Structures are given as C-alpha cells and as structure tokens.
Amino acid sequence: MRTDYETLLLERRGPHVLLLTLNRPDRANAFNTQMGLDLRDLFTGFYVDLEDVRCIVMTGSGSKAFCAGGDLKDRNEMTSQQWEQQHAVFEQKTRAMMDCPIPAIAAVNGAAYGGGCELALSCDFIYAARSARFAQTETRLGIMPGAGGTQNLPRACGVRRAKEIILTAEPFTAEQGYEWGMVNKLCEDETLLDDALATAARIASNAPLAVQQAKKSISMATQVDLKTGYAFEIEAYQRMVPTEDRLEGVRAFNEKREPRFQGR
C-alpha cells in the first residue's frame, strides 16, 4: 500500500485498522483533482488487494473541517470541459469507495459540506463530533450533488428529509443528523477519533470474509426486492461455510477463547 499520497495521510492503528486522514487543512480539506486521484487510487487498490486492512476510519486534518467539498478556489473560472474532466475523477473515486469490500467509518470532526457530506455518506456509517456541521450546498452554486448525495442521503434519512436538505442547501448540526438517522453516534469532540477507532477495532476483530460478505449483502437490501435480496444473502452465506474462519469461530466459542481469524 502506498503511503506517499500528496493529499492523504495513512496510519496503521492496530493490526488491521487504517486511519485515513484527508490532508489539505489550508483548504478545509476540500477536494482538488489530486485528492480525487489519491482517493481513487487508494480505494481501487483495496479492491485488488486488501493489504490485511479490515476496517478504515476516515477523518479530516485539523479541527475545523472534515471536508469542505469541491475546492471552489481551484474550480474558479474552470471551463465546462475542465469541470467535467475533474468531476469524472470524482465519479471514479465514488465508485471505487462503493466497490471497496473493506468497511469504512467516517469520523466527521468538523464541517462536511457539499462533496464532503457526500464523502461521509459514501462510508458505511458516520460518527460525528458534536461540533460537526453538515450541508449539501450544491444548489446554491448552480449545480447538484454529484458524488452519490441524491442516492446515499435518502437511504440514510429518508426521501422527504433528503429533499429538504438538498433543495434548501441549509446547514444542519450533528445532533440533527443523528436525530434523522444519518449519523450513527454523537461523540464529544475530544473522543471522536478514539470512539471511531474502537468501533473499527471491534469490526476488525471479527471474521474478515464474513464482514465483507455481510457488507455486500446489506448494501443490496435497498437495491432489489426482498426475495432477490434474500437470494443474494444466501449465496453470500454459503461462501462462508467452507472457510477456515468458520471452523475457527465455532472452535473458539466451544473452547471459550477469542478466535484467531485469518481471512481464509
């Protein structure tokens, strides 16, 4: 796994947990083309090789912003062609995150506006500091969400609430996000990262193949009808039966010890 990304900091936190920090604090961790390329490369790489990572925690550098979305200073006076070319990179980044088999937790430590809110929503769930703020501000800029916002936000908080958030472009608090079902856990600012990393460690301690297959199956729940979704679940379940991890899990239970999963 590369560790020399221009806009990302990567740090192992325990044997199987990766802390991913968006690192453009001078621009509120806003996306430029390079950050899009860096995220695309990282998550595409995980689709090919998991690098023994079992859970990712994503946060922002500094204390004021998780990610302010697209860098509007960088985008100022862009031609339509330049804008579309940059956004194509962002689209590929979003698809790479969607396809990544490793669970990801967004630890939102400040403003998550526009594409930053979409980035948090592209993770599997969100922990947020009480001081964090969210918004889908695109309609104030003459555009609309284009990194999964119109798809992930309704799935998180319902269609009617998502319409209100996107169409008004009004910011909302972490507490509101929690009440609406978008944020899984409200954390004190000083404990946010520890809370997210503790949950990541708990996920990483479980059988990795089982976690990956369960994630895929859960993601299907909102995309297909019940019977088709259940058929997908059973197919995913059957892949676990012949694994060494299944044998180890049952053996560890009977021997009253912690299992030692190998991802096989």
Sketch the domain layout of the chain as residue ranges: 8-204, 208-254
Average pLDDT, the chain: 94
Torsion of CA 81, 47, 123, 83, to 10 degrees: 0
Q: What confidence tier does 3 reach under pLDDT thresholds 50, 70, 90?
A: confident
Q: Judge whether 138 counts as a catalytic residue.
A: yes
Catalytic residue, chosen from 11, 51, 84, 138, is: 138
Q: What confidence tier does 74 reach under pLDDT thresholds 50, 70, 90?
A: confident
Q: What confidence tier does 228 reach under pLDDT thresholds 50, 70, 90?
A: very high
- pLDDT given at position 76: 84
Return d(Cα 130, Cα 47) in angstroms, integer: 33
Is the pLDDT at 1 greater than 80, yes or no?
A: no
Q: For residue range 192-212, what is the model confidence (pLDDT) as tens digits? A: 999 999 999 999 999 999 999
Tally of CB atoms within 10 A around 262: 12
DSSP annotation of 210: H
**Mean pLDDT along residues 206-224:** 92
Return d(Cα 80, Cα 86) in angstroms, integer: 10
Catalytic residue, chosen from 51, 84, 91, 118, is: 118
Tell me which of 126 and 62 has the higher pLDDT: 126
Q: Which of 19-23, 72-76, 118-122, 144-148 has the lowest mean pLDDT?
A: 72-76
Q: Using DSSP, state whether 31 is helix, strand or coil.
A: strand
Q: Please give the share of the chain, as a percent, with pLDDT higher than 70.
A: 100
Q: What confidence tier does 70 reach under pLDDT thresholds 50, 70, 90?
A: confident
Total length of the chain = 264
The encoded tokens of residue 32 equal: 């430029």
Return d(Cα 98, Cα 116) in angstroms, integer: 15
Strand 172-173 versus strand 133-135 pairing type: antiparallel
**Mean pLDDT along residues 66-72:** 89
Q: Which helix (H) or strand (E) holds 252?
A: helix 244-254
Return d(Cα 258, Cα 248) in angstroms, integer: 10
Q: What confidence tier does 34 reach under pLDDT thresholds 50, 70, 90?
A: very high
Looking at domain 208-254, what is its CATH homologous superfamily? Answer: Lyase 2-enoyl-coa Hydratase, Chain  A, domain 2 (1.10.12.10)
* Site of tokens 């689209």: 91
C-alpha closest to that of 66 among 104, 124, 21, 35 = 21
Is the pLDDT at 63 greater than 90, yes or no?
A: no
Q: What confidence tier does 170 reach under pLDDT thresholds 50, 70, 90?
A: very high
AA identity, residue 108: V
- pLDDT given at position 46: 94
Return d(Cα 30, Cα 193) in angstroms, integer: 20
* Site of tokens 């972490």: 174
Return d(Cα 232, Cα 18) in angstroms, integer: 29
Return d(Cα 258, Cα 210) in angstroms, integer: 16
Q: What confidence tier does 153 reach under pLDDT thresholds 50, 70, 90?
A: very high
Return d(Cα 159, Cα 171) in angstroms, integer: 17
pTM over 0.85: yes
**Mean pLDDT along residues 9-15:** 93
Return d(Cα 186, Cα 132) in angstroms, integer: 10
The encoded tokens of residue 160 equal: 């009617």
The fold for domain 8-204 equals 2-enoyl-CoA Hydratase; Chain A, domain 1 (3.90.226)
Q: For residue range 104-144, what is the model confidence (pLDDT) as tens digits? A: 999 999 999 999 999 999 999 999 999 999 999 999 999 99
Q: What confidence tier does 240 reach under pLDDT thresholds 50, 70, 90?
A: confident
Q: Are 245 and 210 in contact (CB under 8 A)?
A: yes
* Site of tokens 């083309």: 33
Tell me which of 96 and 70 has the higher pLDDT: 96
**Mean pLDDT along residues 234-257:** 90
- pLDDT given at position 222: 87
